[in-house]
Amino acid sequence: MKTALTLSGSIRKGSYNRILQQHMGRKLTQAGVAVTEISLKDFDMPIFNEDLEPDHVPEAAVKLAEMWRSHDIVFIASPEYNGGVPPLLVNTITWLSRQKPSVFRHAVFGIGGVSSGKYGTIWSLSHLRDSLTKVGTLIVPTLLGIGPADTAFDDNGDPVEPGIIRKVDQMVTELTHFSRG
Ligand SMILES: Cc1cc2nc3c(=O)[nH]c(=O)nc-3n(C[C@H](O)[C@H](O)[C@H](O)COP(=O)(O)O)c2cc1C
């Protein structure tokens, strides 16, 4: 059975990206994938600083790195802050990029995001894709930018727009098709 790890770049209460993370988890489960859903709240890491290496690498970075390596699929829901990737996600990826062996070359990744603007995180997803690709990550092509956030989901946490529903299905197909396991 294929395995997937899902996470969100927002840990705030009521996060729309958490809603997307949970929706993607349900869709992957329906596709026969064993899903592990995590919150970055449980992987606390200080702001990365090379002086912290090698003696003060957070245990959370070591643990999360192993989780990224051991799953077939990783799905990241990312908010957009000032047209870019939010600091929580940048810091997490920075710490993970320092763990050996690489955490980027095992799973197939899907990235998506929800934001209050009508362009729905397309700028942050572009930055995130660019950065992850540069360190060797295979990311499926579907652009899953969702916005405006406040009208994007119904009471069950499922997307309402037919175009978004189609894109989620497309990403699930890509993730299950391209992953090992
Ligand atoms: C510091 C900051 C910068 C933001 N910049 C953007 C932006 O560039 N584009 C956008 O559409 N929304 C922006 N927003 C609004 C977020 O999209 C909105 O708060 C969203 O709900 C965050 O995701 P979350 O609900 O998962 O926490 C910003 C919010 C914050 C706090």
Does 157 score more than 80 pLDDT? Answer: yes
Ligand 1 touching residue 48 (CB < 6 A) = no
pLDDT at 103: 98
DSSP-based three-state secondary structure for 45: coil
In this structure, the residue with its CA closest to atom 11 of ligand 1 is: 117
Supply the pTM of this predicted model.
Answer: 0.98
Q: CA–CA separation, 21 vs 151, rounded Å?
A: 17
Domains of the chain: 3-178 (3.40.50.360)
Ligand 1 touching residue 115 (CB < 6 A) = yes
pLDDT band at 61 (very low <50, low <70, confident <90, very high): very high
pLDDT at 180: 81
Residue with tokens 């391209």: 178
